[in-house]
Amino acid sequence: MIHKYGINAATPADWDKLRKDFPAVETSVVLDNTAPKFTADPVNAPDHYKFGKVECIEAIKESMTTEAFKGYCKGNALKYLWRYDYKGKAVEDLGKAEWYLRRLKTEVSEAN
């Protein structure tokens, strides 16, 4: 897996799985079916995390032990749950909490 050997050792299958588990952009087909239309997704693919060639979350994961990264995911899920009702973007913050919980579930599943 990517975190055991580093990001440069990832195989195409690793990247395909990562893209499937954590899609960067949601698409919807334009009515004439000529091209996909990309929509902003502040929960699953915030624009401010798409700077450079590496997703921020993957760089964070690579900088931590497995246990530390699981704690990071848990903490972020709790943060978004804690404040969802106070920022005026309740649905978005609940979606972010859900995203971190799904990521934590994937990390725990891979460890077992």
Q: 88: alpha, beta or left, given left = phi > 0 and alpha = psi -120 to 50?
A: left
Distance CA 35, CA 94 (A): 31
Distance CA 67, CA 111 (A): 10
User: Which sequence spans correspond to the domains of the chain?
Assistant: 2-111
pTM over 0.75: no
What's the average model confidence in pLDDT over 71-87?
95
Joined tokens for residue 96: 């972010």
**What's the pLDDT tens digit per position in 1-34?**
445 556 666 677 776 676 677 665 444 434 445 4
Distance CA 57, CA 78 (A): 17
